[in-house]
Amino acid sequence: EDQVTQSPEALRLQEGESSSLNCSYTVSGLRGLFWYRQDPGKGPEFLFTLYSAGEEKEKERLKATLTKKESFLHITAPKPEDSATYLCAVQDFSGTYKYIFGTGTRLKVLA
Amino acid sequence: DAGVTQSPTHLIKTRGQHVTLRCSPISGHKSVSWYQQVLGQGPQFIFQYYEKEERGRGNFPDRFSARQFPNYSSELNVNALLLGDSALYLCASSLQGQSIGAEAFFGQGTRLTVV
């Protein structure tokens, strides 16, 4: 059964203090791995799609990487506005097109 | 460009009642999926529709049903509401079915509270 585990559950950083969030996954065949940002009470906002091991994507202070077992979301010199919950999801080739989400990492960046 | 729109944004219902949630996908997207998100958890897959056909169903009871209309908008229906159905209900649209691993774009959600 497909499974996604995110760590840590919560992370507090000082502004400018770089760090990484982890997403470990078990999937029968990876169709895609997705990163989303979610603010309280809002729907998830799409950040990145990764398809194969070794792939990297960047957007502003965020960089996502992918291996055969896990993905990392690296946050460089974060700002308070980066505070949010970051969700990781995988999709397999079962044909249902469903996403399996992790429980997320709650990030708080202090000024 | 309009994103995914959901209505209503908030809803309070009594146990045993029925509820209908609505979703309009991004123009050009033919796939709509529904997710339930309980506080502190990641979204859980409920249904996926593509070209008006059900393509996937998650582990939810038969009280949950959905449909997709010719204009690709969708409704999620929940009968005999239970307190445990209180959650944020998310709709996502994508080009799924046309490209591999196409990303899903989510609406702002409907916050359902069952009392």
Domains and CATH numbers, chain A: 3-110 (2.60.40.10)
- Sign of the dihedral defined by the CA atoms of residues B108, A50, A95, B44, in that order: negative
Query: Do the Cβ atoms of A97 and B90 come within 8 Å?
Result: no
Nearest CA in chain B to A47: B103
Query: Do the Cβ atoms of B55 and A95 come within 8 Å?
Result: yes
Contacts of A95 in chain B (CB under 8 A): 55-56
- The DSSP bridge partners found for residue A91 are A32
Identify the burial level of A32 via C-beta atoms within 10 angstroms of its C-beta, where 0-12 means exposed, 13-18 middle and 19 or more buried: buried
Does A104 score more than 70 pLDDT? Answer: yes
Domains and CATH numbers, chain B: 5-114 (2.60.40.10)
Find the mean pLDDT for residues A62-86: 97
Each residue of B62-73: pLDDT tens digit? Answer: 999 999 999 999
- Residue A95 pLDDT: 72
**Distance of residue B44 Cα from the nearest chain A Cα, in angstroms:** 7
Contacts of A98 in chain B (CB under 8 A): 33, 45, 48, 56, 58
- Residue B99 pLDDT: 56
Q: What percent of chain A has pLDDT over 70?
A: 100
Does A97 score more than 90 pLDDT? Answer: no
Higher pLDDT, A28 or B61: B61
Given a cut of 50, the residues of chain B with pLDDT beneath it are none
CA distances from B113 to A30, B38, B39, B64 (A): 35, 11, 12, 16
Whether the upstream peptide bond of residue B8 has omega within 30° of 0, thus cis, is yes
Closest CA to A66 of A94, A31, A37: A31
Q: For chain A, give the mean pLDDT.
A: 95
Q: What percent of chain A has pLDDT over 90?
A: 86
Residue A5 contacts B where some CB pair is shorter than 8 Å: no
